[in-house]
Structure 1
Amino acid sequence: MSKSIATLRKKAISKGRMSLYLDFYPPIWDQDANCFTRREFLKLYVYQKPADQYQKMANIENMHTAELIRARRQNEINKMEIYSAFEREQLKIQEVGRESFVDYYKRLGQKKEGNNLSIWNCAIVHFEAFLKGEDLLFQDVTVTLIEDFRDYLLIARSLRNTQKKLSRNTALSYYNKIKTTLKRAYREDKLKSDINSKISCIKEMESQRNFMTLEEIKILFATPCPDLLVRKISMFSVLTGIRYVDIAKLTWSEIQYIENDGCYIIFRQKKTQGAESMPISEEAFELLGRRKGEKELVFKGLRKCDVDKAVPAWIKLSGIKKHITFHCFRHTYATLQITAGTDIFTVSKMLGHRSVKTTQVYAKVIDSKKREAANRISLE
């Protein structure tokens, strides 16, 4: 596109007046409207037939002002042609700096799915509450502001129950969403400095991971379950350690049986997006039943609401007093593996953890059980 020319023009309006405006050809980019435009109305007018000296003077002054604006706009257009690379870069930084960081944060959140989408939405609601509903531009994002948000999260109330504070790990989860946004914004040159690397963290509080012993598992599976499909996937989770979300989306194309080697599940974890190749036992393989179409779900007809209803009822029928959810079957798999002597690195890989540190909590649980066992024998 060639360089634009700004021309001062007039347009007839009411009461014998002419509105003054600039006509750009070719069109120029309007930052506020976010589109190309050919006109800029100056909110100035002249009289077509001035009736007195006052109107004549007003015409002269307004034409002079309009011409000054035209010259300034033309100068701005010309200046763009002679900016140095450094000046153009600075202009770009200033332009990006005036973009909304909050809108950018929301756009990232909208790309998430399922439970992760819900967590991002809650995190965004808390960030907007911290900002008291005001917008935040990229140029105003600072280390101090983000650390103030960190402090806010540590005392904030839950959205579901305003009588309760956010748990530390929930605050950490929400804080990690803003950290992810900061990292991406810096990578995309929307932030001038790597703010994420400079801010303080929220330390994770080690959460209680309820699990079942092998004896309890045997009692549970000897107890009739209100839902046979829930029983089947519960057994499958105990035998493999796979999360409910990954069991629910498992298709037959992800099940592979290799002669003289056994069955493997080749899938991508929904939570971490990590690609996994997981060997499973013959017992777990038999739970899958007869093979069907490659794109069909292995556990067809599964609904989370049915699982959430059936598991507590089943646990109650078995007489087990622990608070057990479906996810506890994954914890049970991990603790049973470590109890059986499987090294923690292998268990970490089987669970699909990115870091062995995540798996170490199960080893601590086992160590505490060993300590309890050691203290049971006393000669006093």
Structure 2
Amino acid sequence: MATVKIILKEDKANASGEAPLYIRLIKDRKPKYISLGFRINPKHWNAEERKVKKSHPNSQRLNNFIASKIAEAEGVALTMETQEKGISTRKIKEAVLGKASESFLRYADAYIKALEKNGQVATGIKAKSIISKLKDYLENKDLLFDQLTVSFLKAYERHLKDTIKNSTNTIHLNLRVIRRIINEAIREDLLPYEKNPFLKFKLKLEKTAKIYLTEELLKQLEDLPLKPGTRKFHHRNMYVFAAYTGGLRISDILTLQWKHFDGERIIIDTQKTGSTVSVKLPSKAKAILELYQKEGKGKQNPEDFVFPILKAGKDYNDPKVLYQAISSATAYTNKDIRAIGKEIGVIGNLSFHSSRHTWATRALRKGMRIEYVSKLMGHTSIKTTQIYAKIVSSELDKAMEIFD
């Protein structure tokens, strides 16, 4: 006989401390969970009586709702066990949920709001843009989880390629976000694992050549005569600084403040991952900082930005405001870096991110151990860093052709 209970999953509490309520079905020691679709603070939950405390403003309404759902689940379980011996908790769960699955779009919107609430603004904005594109394709129609089939994904993939003219890698990014949201729904027991369409749908990804500067090109970029104080002058200095300091991302260069520099090294919590990076500065990097230091040692305001791109004194505590400022500054920076790249004869479009590739390939060529390169770049896996090792190896292979 299946047992039916209501539980509060405090381990799945959100940033506000609210935890989701689930119906738990157990049969033959195999549990299945059904989300009730709302959360409450644990302080309002009576774990012994399995009901909402009177301290909650909507306690009576919620308890009535819980009681009706428990009664419904018990009734379905009893009926199914009577009709079929050995019925699984999975089938009971599906019967309790009914034929109509939940809305993927509503779940996606809630997922995006949770990202923004947890401070993952950049991830949330990108996901919102991708889901907005999906909504346009659906022409204001809803999309249920049950409708997210392999056939649907193939049709949407064709739409992105043929109608929107997205590249293979842009399509990959769009579908990867959809997959991530589905996986989150599976973790919350809103969708059975076996109904994940991505189990039978493979994402396509094209390898792209990483653009980086050789020692000669980097030297040309350093020596390029640019008028001091101009935007292009600052952008060039930022690029060179990144190429000498572990390939710091542009978001970290833009938000670098004097308080992050102790005279020998910079210590900063990265914008993308939040991980702390400590880099001892080589002489070239120190020389760039000296250009921005005021007369007299140590008189800089610790809160001032090293590179004068973001507005001094502006409050960037709001993550959305900071994200928009970084996005705007990045666009202008890349525009100038592209122009500079053409001036020094770079083939292809140079972007600020190539400073990261430049540092990695130079570090490996100079004999730095790959695990050190990985650590300084803030990679979560050394597999990511091995891409640069392959680039260096291919250069060495090409160099050996002189013996042919």
Q: TM-score, normalised by structure 1?
A: 0.65
Indicate the residue corresponding to 1:108 in structure 2.
Answer: 111
Q: 1:84 to 1:120 in 2, by over 3 A?
A: closer
RMSD of aligned alpha carbons: 3.6
Question: Is the counterpart of residue 337 in structure 1 residue 363 in structure 2?
Answer: yes
Indicate the residue corresponding to 2:266 in structure 1.
Answer: 264
Indicate the residue corresponding to 1:202 in structure 2.
Answer: 203
Work out the CA distance in 2 between the residues paired with 1:96 and 1:286.
67
Indicate the residue corresponding to 2:236 in structure 1.
Answer: 231
- Which of 344, 369, 373 aligns to 2:395? It is 369
Indicate the residue corresponding to 1:279 in structure 2.
Answer: 279
- Which of 248, 253, 266 aligns to 1:242? It is 248
1:184-227 CA distance string (max 9 Å, x none)? 22223322436457353314322110111011111111111352
- Which of 104, 107, 120 aligns to 2:127? It is 120
Work out the CA distance in 2 between the residues paired with 1:99 and 1:150.
18
Q: 1:148 to 1:344 in 2, by over 3 A?
A: farther
Are the counterparts in 1 of residues 268 and 278 from structure 2 also a CA contact under 8 Å?
yes
What SS does the corresponding residue of 2:193 show, helix, strand or coil? Answer: coil
Indicate the residue corresponding to 2:214 in structure 1.
Answer: 213
1:18-43 CA distance string (max 9 Å, x none)? xxxxxxxxxxxxx9xxxxxxxxxxxx
Aligned residue pairs: how many?
Answer: 291
Indicate the residue corresponding to 1:72 in structure 2.
Answer: none
Question: Is the counterpart of residue 157 in structure 1 residue 151 in structure 2?
Answer: no
Q: TM-score, normalised by structure 2?
A: 0.61
Matches within 5 A, 1:1-380: 80=68, 83=71, 86-87=74-75, 94=97, 99-110=102-113, 111-112=115-116, 116-117=123-124, 119-129=126-136, 131-138=138-145, 140=146, 145-157=148-160, 165-193=165-193, 195-196=195-196, 198-225=199-226, 227-240=232-245, 241-256=247-262, 262-270=264-272, 273-283=273-283, 284-289=285-290, 290=293, 292-302=300-310, 303-378=329-404
1:49-103 CA distance string (max 9 Å, x none)? xxxxxxxxxxxxxxxxxxxxxxxxxxx99x8398276459959963896542202
Are the counterparts in 1 of residues 221 and 236 from structure 2 also a CA contact under 8 Å?
no
Work out the CA distance in 2 between the residues paired with 1:84 and 1:164.
46
Are the counterparts in 2 of residues 237 and 243 from structure 1 also a CA contact under 8 Å?
yes
Work out the CA distance in 1 between the residues paired with 2:370 and 2:194.
35
What SS does the corresponding residue of 2:350 show, helix, strand or coil? Answer: coil
Aligned AA (1:168): T
More moved, 346-355 vs 276-285: 276-285
1:130-184 CA distance string (max 9 Å, x none)? 545421234x25xxx34334423543336xxx77732222122111111211122
Work out the CA distance in 2 between the residues paired with 1:98 and 1:320.
53
Are the counterparts in 1 of residues 172 and 203 from structure 2 also a CA contact under 8 Å?
yes
Indicate the residue corresponding to 1:25 in structure 2.
Answer: none
Q: 1:98 to 1:115 in 2, by over 3 A?
A: same
Work out the CA distance in 1 between the residues paired with 2:75 and 2:258.
58
Are the counterparts in 2 of residues 315 and 324 from structure 1 also a CA contact under 8 Å?
yes
Aligned AA (1:201): K
What SS does the corresponding residue of 1:287 show, helix, strand or coil? Answer: helix
Aligned AA (1:316): K
Are the counterparts in 2 of residues 253 and 294 from structure 1 also a CA contact under 8 Å?
yes
Are the counterparts in 1 of residues 244 and 282 from structure 2 also a CA contact under 8 Å?
no
Work out the CA distance in 2 between the residues paired with 1:245 and 1:324.
17
Larger Rg: 1
Indicate the residue corresponding to 1:16 in structure 2.
Answer: none
* Amino-acid identity (%): 27
Deviation at 1:124, TM superposition (A): 1.2
Are the counterparts in 1 of residues 160 and 171 from structure 2 also a CA contact under 8 Å?
no
More moved, 318-327 vs 176-185: 318-327
Indicate the residue corresponding to 1:63 in structure 2.
Answer: none
Aligned AA (2:155): Y
Are the counterparts in 1 of residues 256 and 268 from structure 2 also a CA contact under 8 Å?
no
What SS does the corresponding residue of 1:166 show, helix, strand or coil? Answer: coil
Work out the CA distance in 1 between the residues paired with 2:368 and 2:138.
49
Q: Point out where structure 2 has 5 or more consecutive residues left out of the alignment.
A: 1-35, 37-63, 77-91, 311-328
Are the counterparts in 1 of residues 289 and 306 from structure 2 also a CA contact under 8 Å?
yes
What SS does the corresponding residue of 1:264 show, helix, strand or coil? Answer: strand
Q: 1:119 to 1:80 in 2, by over 3 A?
A: closer
Aligned AA (1:377): F
Aligned AA (1:134): K
Q: 1:337 to 1:98 in 2, by over 3 A?
A: same
Are the counterparts in 2 of residues 183 and 194 from structure 1 also a CA contact under 8 Å?
no
Aligned AA (1:238): A
Deviation at 1:229, TM superposition (A): 1.2
